[in-house]
Chains A and B, each alone.
Chain A
């Protein structure tokens, strides 16, 4: 189980993989904002086409993206359902007590459905093609302006990278402790809510102690390797913009332009 996919990164090779993570992170945020610019069928079609283009550019199997949408499918359907039956306006086709099916409701439901799906798709494109470590680097870059207001960005970055590095280690540790406790008769999968919550104690307590010991060991090791806070620290891992990132930029200028042109005011 040590091959756990943190953040569900899927190895692959396509243009999107070679893009700078900072560009991808910014693009994802901007895309989500842009989606709210769409307000008529044409603009929604444009947004859909652009997100499908991004998905296609990853060259990954559609199943990967379906896995991204799946956990949120009920939320999407529930929200669309609410829009469908509770919007009032336009031609009313059918009405029963508070439920009403109107042309306005139908279009709204479709819009909401598209909005949700494209946002999830684009964020999936981002997380699936970017290593968690690169995302951490990108977040650090994005937070850099906060240095002016004395936010310890470098320390936060180090914390993020150590946290990410220990996710698989702690996961392994958890499995080991679970198996060890199981071999002494602990039962993690049966019983009611209270019984199960109690069964977790023999798992959590050693895990906590382990993490604290690891933290002490790690800090000793870091200090003996010359770590003394932020001052004078350089960075080994640096990100570089390349020509591929221009595609990202053009994509968004195009999207913004088309949305502004076809948008109804």
Chain B
């Protein structure tokens, strides 16, 4: 059964045991197959909790009959392992998700858990390592790798199990700009090659801008969603939630304040540059 949406969430709430207020407050959303979705929101808005609900690390509150469906599978105790086969997560801290003692061991970890035979592993592992450009580090130990390289290994570990959905849970937030760009371009390439669905939880506005769909969260609630254009043009709302807006929106706002008339339809850096150049030549 293939549907248009790979993830369906209905009436999901979640309250951490030690807290009074729910971390996720009655959220329903759909994520399209093969899309790139960004989830933004300030710290503690419930972004990471959503992901942990989707792959069954956390179980939603009973009330309101919550439903989570991943790739046509309803999430429950019996299907949780199958769902985890479909969702690969790259976490925030590159050090704390590296299980193996070497790169190859770490990439193989997911395969070992699934009982893949040794003869198959020796084929899959080098391929996955090659796909993220880490072949020369196959036997390197994590202590000798940079943060960006460790995240690439994490991606290789996910590719090895061939998931449908890849989740970046603030995966680039502890990396330098170069490491971040590498990770994002690898994920973009993998998305196209294997037709993956990407969900990226991020504070980085440029990363969020790569998405087809942006979800904005605040205090466990879904505030707004839509294309990057729809969401990032709501500058006032984002500012109120304490979020950044992309650089071109900032420039636009400043220019508008200086009474330079910029049409609202401009929604990328390139368009803004073109428009400003034209404006200059017309003067």
Residues of chain A whose beta carbon lies under 8 Å from any beta carbon of chain B? 2-4, 133, 161-162, 164-165, 168-169, 172, 213-214, 217-218, 220-228, 232-238
Whether the pair B111, A234 counts as a contact (CB closer than 8 A) is yes
Please determine whether B95 and A169 come into contact, CB atoms closer than 8 angstroms: yes
Determine the distance from Cα of A2 to Cα of B140 in the docked complex, in whole angstroms: 13
Please state if A234 and B93 are interface contacts (CB–CB under 8 Å): no
User: By DSSP majority rule, is chain B's interface helix, strand, loop, or mixed?
Assistant: helix
Residues on B with C-beta less than 8 A from A168 are: 141-143
Q: Is B85 an interface residue (CB 8 A)?
A: yes
Number of interface residues of B (CB under 8 A): 42
Listed A/B pairs (16) with beta-carbon separation below 8 Å: A133-B102, A165-B99, A165-B141, A168-B143, A217-B91, A217-B93, A218-B96, A218-B97, A222-B99, A224-B84, A226-B110, A226-B114, A228-B113, A233-B113, A236-B105, A236-B125
In the complex, how many angstroms separate the beta carbon of A47 from the nearest chain B beta carbon?
35
B143→A172 contact, CB < 8 A: yes
In angstroms, Cα B112 to Cα A252, docked, is 36
Check A161/B101 contact, CB under 8 A, given A168-B141, A169-B142, A234-B117: yes
| Contact of A234 with B112 in the complex, beta carbons under 8 Å | yes
Q: Contact at A236–B99, with CB atoms within 8 Å? A: no
The answer to whether B121 and A236 touch across the interface, beta carbons within 8 angstroms, is yes
State the CA gap A2–B121 with chains docked (Å): 30
Tell me which of A172, A217, A220, A225 contacts B110 (CB under 8 A).
A225
A residues within 8 A CB of B102? 133
Q: Which residues of B are found within 8 Å of A238, using beta-carbon distances? A: 118
- Who on chain B is nearest to A137 by CB? B101
| A107 CA to B101 CA, complexed, in Å | 48
In the complex, chain B residues 13-72 whose Cβ is within 8 Å of any chain A Cβ: 52, 55, 57
Contact A165 to B55, CB < 8 A, known contacts A236-B108, A236-B125: no
- B157, CB-defined interface residue at 8 Å: yes
Question: Which chain B residues border A228 with CB–CB below 8 Å?
Answer: 81, 113
Residues of A within 8 A of B81 (CB): 226, 228
Nearest residue (CB) in B for A216 is B96
Min C-beta distance of A18 to chain B, whole Å: 15
Q: Are A217 and B97 in contact (CB under 8 A)?
A: yes
Q: Nearest chain-B residue to A233 (Cβ)?
A: B112
CB-CB nearest in chain A for B52: A220
Measured CB to CB, the closest approach of chain A to B71, in angstroms, equals 16
Contacts of B158 in A (CB 8 A): 225
B101 contact from A164, A214, A221, A232, Cβ within 8 A: A164
Establish whether residues A165 and B142, one from each chain, have CB atoms under 8 Å apart when the complex forms: yes
Residues A221 and B84 in contact, CB atoms below 8 Å apart = no
- Using Cβ atoms and an 8 Å threshold, which residues of chain B touch A161? 100-101, 105
- Collect the chain B residues with CB atoms within 8 Å of residue A222's CB: 99, 109
Q: Is the CB of A217 within 8 A of B101?
A: no
Question: Distance in Å from the Cβ of B221 to the closest Cβ of chain A?
Answer: 24
CA distance A92 to B58 in the complex (A): 79
B187 to chain A, nearest CB (A): 17
Residues of the A chain whose Cβ atoms lie less than 8 Å from the Cβ of B263:
none
Contacts of A225 in B (CB 8 A): 84, 88, 99, 109-110, 113, 157-158, 161
Chain B residues closer than 8 Å to A234, beta-carbon distance: 111-112, 115-118, 121
Inside 8 A of A221's CB, which chain B residues have their CB? 89, 91, 96-97, 99
Min CB–CB distance B2 → chain A (angstroms):
23
B271 to chain A, nearest CB (A): 39
Q: Does B232 count as interface, using CB distance less than 8 angstroms?
A: no
Q: Which residue of A lies closest to B91 (CB)?
A: A221
